[in-house]
Amino acid sequence: MPLDERPATKLKIVVLGSAAGGGYPQWNCRCPVCDLAWQRDRRVSPRTQSSLAVTADGDHWFLLNASPDLRQQIQSTTSLWPANGRDSPIRGVFLTNGDVDHVAGLLSLRERQAFAVIGTPATLKLIEANSIFRVLDPAYVRMQPLRDGVEIDAGFGLKATPFFVPGKVPLHEESGTVSIGGVGESTLGLEIRSAGARLIYIPGCAKMSGEILRRASGADLLLFDGTTFTDDEMVRLGLSQKTAWRMGHMAITGDEGSLRAFAEVQVGRKVYTHINNTNPILIEGSSERRVVETAGWEVAYDGMEIAL
Amino acid sequence: MPLDERPATKLKIVVLGSAAGGGYPQWNCRCPVCDLAWQRDRRVSPRTQSSLAVTADGDHWFLLNASPDLRQQIQSTTSLWPANGRDSPIRGVFLTNGDVDHVAGLLSLRERQAFAVIGTPATLKLIEANSIFRVLDPAYVRMQPLRDGVEIDAGFGLKATPFFVPGKVPLHEESGTVSIGGVGESTLGLEIRSAGARLIYIPGCAKMSGEILRRASGADLLLFDGTTFTDDEMVRLGLSQKTAWRMGHMAITGDEGSLRAFAEVQVGRKVYTHINNTNPILIEGSSERRVVETAGWEVAYDGMEIAL
């Protein structure tokens, strides 16, 4: 249709990083899927760690999580380049949990730039308890706490409602017996809204809940935890003793997997992100990739842009 | 000369990152030098943050500092790729101070890989006091303290002697009146030796000292603090209220600058690294670049390889 008859974009999303913690390939890993990336096999694309950028007005951006690769991600994304003087278009960072792959990028946002760090009291407390984050000058960087189910107006046309999802505390906060799958301040989903467009972002989730199904139903876009294809894939590869569940993630397949859980949910587009280096959906044309695509899911990649 | 008559390499150095904290260009900066990088001007090359990789045996590598860009730096450096299974060739990380641009990369070295983190007790204490670094599993990662002037055998043919240089505590540890230029555990130089080859690495230094001159004299290679060209360049650009001195760095020029301080010192090769985004020596052909080159200095760039 002619340009002036196209519906205006209400919400624009850029996938800055689509991999789970460690990225793809992972620095010390030659598992079969990583091996393809080290060999520069054309069926796979390297991926940086989990983060989105979203904008409602096209000019001011919010990050959903700040990955350790954030500096590289900004360099690769012209929309996030500074305009003049000291002036980044980034106005805030939402944190869905306190994992390294979601918070370490804050260390790359120093230097006299005003923005908000937005997360649960538990996640903000974790940032404040680690003195290294004092490089973020409180004269510029504002900490904004989130409450379960309470919408905030982030400004610049963007509204966000956080909701607790089943998860676990970050790895670096684990001690003794670790509780998995509890619903609390440790792990968030985010509902992002602008002018009627609605994104649901849940990069980490240990199991399905009624709240998640309710929020996702009718959304224009769902970006969901695609960490592993099978619950035990890291164990079978001999890379770890941990299942996906132990890491606080639900696998894509299986009785308790996300494919089955979302099978009947009406969503505009369903996209897997936060994809672990061991997950064979990273390989174009693989049987596992076909399984998710046949079920109506897309697989996120770095630089993927979605306009709602 | 024919290949078999060439002297064997005793020490190989790869500059993983040649920029100061924040890298070049800096995420929110459009100063005149950054502006060239955002415009993709061919006189400048983007640079990641301060780190070297060194090897004595050609197979096992040590990092001198772990920058926030370490994951990207490993991806760009084939020598640092894993061989098979979980097996990185990186065997240790020396830390010259506790600045974010030198320690945050440790967060990218998780996942069941044995290596040593080597620094002063003060710097190791800082790592241990920040719970986020608990992602480094103590079952695999060993903390090794350094003492002023005491050589350690790092293994794989590489020996290192740390020596305290004038500096200051890391930004995130500053409180009240900050002491600059003191000699203590906060800031190290490293003398790296292998089979008679000798590298002196001092990425941060507030002022010259007799100890530095003594160590540098006769070295095959000096990699030195090239943060700023003039002491007040960040102030004049309106980017900061801090001089280079206030940040714990001696400028290149001026009566107290590094050009003058090293003018009479005999060194095989002298290379500036840890270069701030405001420093015009980043621009090929600039008058400032010519000043340092005429004085016999080179300007480090990412991927620079030096064999001794």
Q: In this predicted model, what pLDDT tens digit does every residue of B92-150 receive, in sequence order?
A: 999 999 999 999 999 999 878 899 999 999 999 999 999 999 999 999 999 999 999 99
Q: What is the mean pLDDT of residues A152-179?
A: 91
Question: Do the Cβ atoms of A131 and B130 come within 8 Å?
Answer: yes
**Average of per-residue pLDDT across B281-308:** 98
User: What single letter denotes the amino acid at residue A290?
Assistant: R
Q: What's the confidence (pLDDT) of residue B61?
A: 98
When scoring A16, A28, A71 by the number of chain B Cβ atoms within 10 A, the one with the most, hence best to mutate, is A28
CB contact under 8 A, B30 and A85: yes
Residues from chain A that touch B22, judged by Cβ atoms under 8 A, are 108, 110-111
For residue A136, the chain B residue with the least C-alpha distance is B172
Q: Given an 8 Å threshold on Cβ–Cβ distance, is A130 in contact with B131?
A: yes
Query: Token pair for residue A195?
Result: 């002018």
How far, CA to CA in Å, does A254 sit from each of A87, A280, A287?
A: 47, 15, 16
Residues B7, A82: Cα–Cα separation, whole Å: 48
- Closest by Cβ to B30, choosing from A29, A46, A84: A84
What three-state secondary structure class fits A105?
Answer: helix
CB contact under 8 Å between A111 and B85, yes or no, is no
The answer to whether the CB atoms of B100 and A107 lie below 8 A apart is yes
How many angstroms away from the CA of A264 is the closest CA of chain B?
Answer: 37
Would you list the domain boundaries of chain A?
3-307
Measured between CA atoms, the residue of chain B closest to residue A32 is B85
Task: Collect all residues with Cβ–Cβ distance below 8 Å to B171 and sequence separation of at least 6.
Answer: A134, A135, B99, B100
Contacts of A130 in chain B (CB under 8 A): 130-132
The pLDDT value recorded for residue B265 is 96
Cβ neighbors of B214 (< 8 A, separation 6 or more) are: none
Say what the pLDDT of residue B187 is: 95
- Of residues B191 and B110, which shows the higher confidence score? B191
AA identity, residue A123: T
Could B104 and A130 be called an inter-chain contact, meaning their C-beta atoms sit closer than 8 Å?
no
pLDDT of residue B3: 56
Decide if B173 and A29 are in contact by the 8 Å CB cutoff: no
Burial A93-126 (b: 16+ CB within 10 A, else e): bbbbbbbbbbbbbbbbbbbebebbbbbbebbbeb
Q: pLDDT band at A7, cuts 50/70/90?
A: low
- Residue B232, pLDDT > 80, answer yes
Which of A71, A112, A130 has the CB atom closest to B69's CB atom? A71
- How far is residue A90's CA from residue A72's CA, in Å, rounded to a whole number? 15
**Are A275 and A299 a contacting pair, CB within 8 Å?**
yes
Percentage with pLDDT > 90 across chain B:
81
Mark A73-84 as b/e (b = at least 16 C-beta within 10 Å). Answer: bbbebeebbbee
Q: Are A92 and A117 in contact, with CB atoms under 8 Å apart?
A: yes
CA dist., res. A216 & res. A267, Å (int): 7
List the single residue in B with minimal CA-CA distance to A37: B75
B5: closest CA of chain A, how far (Å): 33
Tell me the pLDDT band of A256, cut-offs 50, 70 and 90. Answer: very high
With a CB cutoff of 8 Å and minimum separation 6, the contacts of A30 are A38, B82, B83, B84, B85, B86, B87
Residues B130, A132: C-beta atoms closer than 8 Å = yes
Bridge partner list, B299? B272
Average pLDDT over residues A58-82: 97
Which chain B residue's Cα is nearest to A133?
A: B172
Q: Which of A118, A129, A130 is nearest to A188 (CA)?
A: A118
| pTM for this model (two decimals) | 0.95
Q: What rounded mean pLDDT belongs to chain A?
A: 94
CATH no. for B3-307: 3.60.15.10
pLDDT at position A241: 84
A85 pLDDT more than 80: no
Q: Is B131's CB within 8 Å of A126's CB?
A: yes
From the list B84, B87, B100, the residue facing A132 with the nearest CB is B100
- pLDDT average, residue stretch B193-199: 95
A82 contacts in chain B (CB < 8 Å): 27-30, 34, 38
ipTM value: 0.94
Q: Give the whole-angstrom CA distance, residue B60 versus residue B106.
A: 18
Smallest Cβ–Cβ distance between A30 and the set B27, B82, B238 belongs to: B82
